[in-house]
A and B are shown apart, each in its own frame.
Chain A
């Protein structure tokens, strides 16, 4: 049971405030902001109290999404609801930021009115809501599918390498109404990997969490069939086929997924029943722990020593073990440095890389825009630190990498085919995209 819902910007500006049950005044918004900004670092902020009113909040898009409740409700429900609300707002407004919420406040009030009644969640399916929501979204910039930056230099793109820009799916759901003829479907396979590599190079932990997300802008699609790799297996015992098996440990499906063809030929049948299906669905979630099918994508060979002048010399060799045709992009290597470091001088192996010492977070950030597989980069950092402790080497590391691997899944999961029935009239665009993000990629030194 939700008493109020409000959205605050990170500076505490009131963006949206809606009271459902009249149990508390609007002054609690200020109280919330005071409380949440007064918290010290180690106090969990998710649930806070003010008298017998509980604040539950999530942070998304740099905003505070807050629900208050007087009864002792389920935290899972409240948090899931707030996340879902944020996702809905993103669906309807196209993007999630302070500006879009500010511009679309009327739409969000309308949404809230339909989503929650008297503190009870009614529905959060954007398909159902589409019938009730009348306000048009205000977009900050007009949507264009063919973002010019993504088209190759000479326009000579083959069908295989053509990729929808990552912003393609982030547009208001309602715009599909006017676009009418244009029908599109996006199938995204997204994996997040978290890896810990010990100082001796042994992989101590490797987890992958993945999901298949379908976003469908097709007015008349009643069933879709998604074929996965035939040698896809779940659990340790089950091995299928002779090729390299694609294995995951645990796997769960959306309730609209029919699995009758799954065990025989690895086909997910998705039957969006009218009125229930939402526009964007996470069709399947899976996890793989402890065992990557291939070598971890990055290895680091550090040499760290102190020179006679009291400086700290860090010579880092970073190798990318992906296949040569793939590449990692937006790689950011964070190297924590000892307390008392003042400045750094650097020698990087190519001009497009950059590195800087962030004194606030006590770390060097080394950015590599593009890192092709099978190559190796090196960097030499000379750290000026006049007041080093007796054992500064212990304070170096662990090194953390953040990166994105486009067109690639570490588990090897692939979509074999995507069939829609009934056969769609007119031209339709089908986008199948793979991406792997680093959730937490830690290399100890």
Chain B
């Protein structure tokens, strides 16, 4: 942020610094230097004052020295020649009787980051390693690491490395930890320093003398050690037990990380360790610092992936505080949803319901989706809050839309709650502002139209306003809904269907909408029976519930990302899929299009203009995961192995659920997904005769027995499905 008139500032400062009167008065001189540093940290370019500052470096005043060094280290790389002048002062300071001056000079000598100065620096650094004062040794040790990184190509001096190894036994704990850090940097190419048994035991024994940061460093380095015997392993583990329940979250996290690395083959030990850290983690969740809370919450989510029951008894600790920021509330809700069991469901729902009226619309929306998600796993009572809430929030557009979308998702996965939803649908029409919500409402009317008394009136309102409707998605949904309603309630809807079709065919400019209208028109001419057969798609998909209540994963799935920044980052993507993305909804177009197409044989239509293949996939091919794996890895001659590229920009952006739902409609079963953000993202699919794995847009197919025609058919179905996926970018 360059200030206005920064040149004037620099000129003024230079005048001050070179004024002999100022120079002779230490206090005024120091305050001029202070002004320079202040200007520097405000973003003014004060590089022009370098020579004046070099002069100011030669002083006995330590405060002034420190200030000048701050300046010099920032600008030395721009003025390598002038910096040579400083080095003499610095080398002289390295002989100073005051250890503080020595360490200061030594540190800043290397911080100048000038490779040309390396030859002047090595000697003081070597001397620094043997200095009496610990603070000088600390600086000297790290100095070697800095020096090495300045000239990465240069030879590593074996004598220095040996000396550093020797300094691991230094009485000062910080020197020891700095040695670890320096050795790790210097020996990076060789894979870091050697961690053998004596070093490990030495480090473990000194763990108690170190502060929090030192302990974390040692624990991190020890991750590379492999104990030679089981008894040694258990000795180490029992030694570390105290730090596992350390009140300092960094130590606790580093220890757990080490535990998970040390015993990947002993799940019982790992699980016991997870149980042990529950207390400290929960304490971190209630920490005064909200950032610490957030970090702890993210890591608890990781733990819950393997031990879903870990926090069950402590669900109240995840109730949101009023003043907490939205991002913490949402994480807490995600955790709460995982913790629901039969005992606490009433309590939890009541709590979640309280969040639905949150002032922050995002939080409220997340709460509604959370209730819906909970409901989807067959706790039928969940619908009550959603429906009673829908009445309450009619007036506030974003909420109401969220409620309708949640109800739609709910009906899709658990048909038993459709009665409640239907009764709530009466009178929930005029206030929906966004197209997502309107689409959801239309879908609900289409599927359960015969049970909602006011459905035709609601629909009529939509049809009257169709001219003002901007979203083609809503229009297509409206067409389908009117058609479906016409099938079950012809008398009430005939007139408006006529008007709608007329409008869409004669006046509509969007090709997709017009095509669909034409299609329905032709369909109607085929007769009522045919229409009913085509439109009578599936109304719910109970099997989707399986994906939501996911099974416990092995610890190794997430162990490597524990105590890294990874878990804190995935937030945005995850809420996208559980939130508004409305996975099930997208399947509707397919529902009425593709699957029916397949069922009804030759009769084909689809908005994207994909040719329906002459291939029928069996309804529910059964294949166990083990069987799939066996077949997939088997390399036999009678397989066709084919790699095909399908251009489909939507795939990387869509959620696993929506992909699965889409695939299921055309009778392709989804077996497994890789984690949502893994790259390449793989989906393992199988169907009756074929198996396919999909890699972003590259599809690998293996087929048995060979059948070129069926293969092409399968591919075109897959392409069609992929093209109909929603293109939702955040």
Contacts and interface: CB of A to CB of B under 8 A. Distances in A.
Chain B binding surface SS class: helix
Contacts of A47: 565, 568-569
A124 B249 contact: no
Contacts of A362: 359
B164 to A, nearest CB: 14
B291 A79 contact: yes
B391 interface: yes
Contacts of B62: 134
Contacts of B283: 209, 250, 252, 285, 287
A125 B173 CA distance: 14
A152 to B, nearest CB: 32
Interface stretch (B7-15, B63-71, B484-492, B587-595): B63-71
Given A79-B295, A391-B391, A54 B565 contact: yes
B688 interface: no
A394 interface: yes
Interface residues of B, number: 95
Interface in B265-292: 279-280, 282-284, 286, 288-292
A293 B165 CA distance: 56
Contact of B66 (A19, A110, A123): A110
B572 interface: yes
Interface in A37-79: 40-47, 49, 54, 56-59, 72-77, 79
Interface stretch (A10-18, A90-98, A225-233, A366-374): A10-18
Contacts, number: 234
A15 B213 contact: no
Interface in B51-78: 62-63, 66-67, 70, 74
A391 B211 CA distance: 57
Contacts of B568: 44, 46-47, 75
B352 interface: no
A361 interface: yes
A30 interface: yes
A117 B140 CA distance: 11
Contacts of A388: 395
A444 B292 contact: no
Given A43-B327, A390-B395, A109 B178 contact: no
Interface string A120-141: 1111110000011011000000
A289 B313 CA distance: 11
B354 interface: yes
B100 A132 contact: yes
B321 interface: yes
A118 interface: yes
A442 B321 CA distance: 8
Given A72-B564, A76-B249, A287-B286, A42 B326 contact: yes
B66 A398 contact: no
Nearest to B1: A14
Given A19-B74, A289-B316, A77 B362 contact: no
A130 to B, nearest CB: 12
Contacts of B178: 117, 120, 122
A48 to B, nearest CB: 8
Contact of A253 (B247, B254, B565): B247
B571 A44 contact: yes
B561 to A, nearest CB: 9
B416 interface: no
Given A14-B41, A250-B283, A362-B359, A117 B139 contact: yes
A276 to B, nearest CB: 7
Contacts of B217: 120
Contacts of B498: none
B288 A43 contact: no
B63 A135 contact: yes
A416 B39 CA distance: 53
A188 interface: no
Contacts of A110: 63, 66
Q: Quick one: which of B247, B283, B366 has the most chain A CB within 10 A? A: B247
A209 B252 CA distance: 19
Interface in A373-420: 387-391, 394-395, 397-398, 400, 402
Contacts of A17: 41
A83 interface: yes
A97 B647 CA distance: 54
Contacts of B564: 72-75
Given A43-B572, A46-B291, A440-B323, A81 B213 contact: yes
Contacts of A172: none
Given A79-B295, A80-B248, A16 B326 contact: no
Contacts of B19: none
Closest 7 A/B residue pairs (Cβ): A440-B321, A389-B395, A394-B392, A42-B362, A44-B327, A252-B247, A121-B213
Given A105-B38, A289-B314, 12 more contacts: A41-B361, A44-B327, A74-B563, A79-B291, A82-B291, A110-B66, A134-B66, A196-B351, A209-B283, A336-B357, A388-B395, A398-B322
Interface of B: 1, 34, 37-38, 41-43, 62-63, 66-67, 70, 74, 100, 107, 113, 135, 138-139, 142, 145-146, 174, 177-178, 181, 211-213, 216-217, 220, 245, 247-250, 252-254, 279-280, 282-284, 286, 288-292, 294-295, 298, 314, 316-317, 319-324, 326-327, 330-331, 347, 350-351, 354, 357, 359-363, 366, 389, 391-396, 563-569, 571-572, 575
Interface of A: 13-17, 19, 22, 26, 30, 40-47, 49, 54, 56-59, 72-77, 79-83, 105-106, 109-110, 113, 117-118, 120-125, 131-132, 134-135, 192, 194, 196, 198, 204-205, 207, 209, 250, 252-254, 276, 285, 287, 289-290, 334, 336, 339-340, 361-363, 387-391, 394-395, 397-398, 400, 402, 439-442, 444
20 contacts: A44-B571, A54-B565, A59-B290, A72-B566, A76-B295, A80-B292, A83-B291, A105-B41, A106-B63, A106-B66, A106-B67, A113-B66, A117-B178, A123-B211, A123-B213, A285-B247, A387-B395, A390-B395, A394-B392, A440-B323
